[in-house]
Chain A
Amino acid sequence: MNDPSPQHQDTILVVEDEILVRTSIAQYLRDCGYRVIEAGNADDAMVMLNKADVHIDILFTDIEMPGSMDGFALCQWVRRNMPDMQILLTGSNHKAAHAAANLCEEGPQLKKPYAPEQLLDQIRRLRATKR
Chain B
Amino acid sequence: MVPLSITQERRKRILIVEDNIALRFTLAEWLRSLKYTVFEATSADEAIVLLESPLEVDLVVTDVQMPGKKDGIELLRYIQNSLPAVKVIVVSGDVHEVLKGEKVPFLKKPYDLEEMASNIAKLLTGSN
Residues of chain A touching chain B, judged by Cβ–Cβ distance below 8 Å, are: 1, 4-5, 19-20, 23, 26-28, 30-33, 35, 37-40, 44, 47-48, 51
Contact = CB atoms under 8 A, between A and B. Distances in A.
B21 A33 contact: no
A33 B40 CA distance: 18
Nearest to A6: B1
Contact of B2 (A27, A31, A51): A31
A106 B57 CA distance: 38
B1 A5 contact: yes
A44 B21 contact: yes
Interface residues of B, number: 20
B34 interface: no
A31 B1 contact: yes
B98 interface: no
B50 interface: yes
B39 A23 contact: yes
Contacts of B3: 1, 4, 28, 31-32
Interface in B27-76: 29, 32, 37, 39-42, 46, 49-50, 53, 55
A117 to B, nearest CB: 11
B22 interface: yes
B25 interface: yes
Contacts of B39: 23, 27
B4 interface: yes
B21 A48 contact: yes
Most B C-beta atoms less than 10 A away, residue of A4, A27, A35:
A27
Contacts of B42: 19, 40, 44
B24 to A, nearest CB: 8
B21 A20 contact: no
Contacts of A1: 2-3
Contacts of A5: 1-2
Most B C-beta atoms less than 10 A away, residue of A1, A28, A37:
A37
A47 B11 CA distance: 30
B4 A31 contact: yes
A33 B1 contact: yes
A48 B25 contact: yes
Given A37-B25, A48-B25, A51-B22, A23 B50 contact: yes
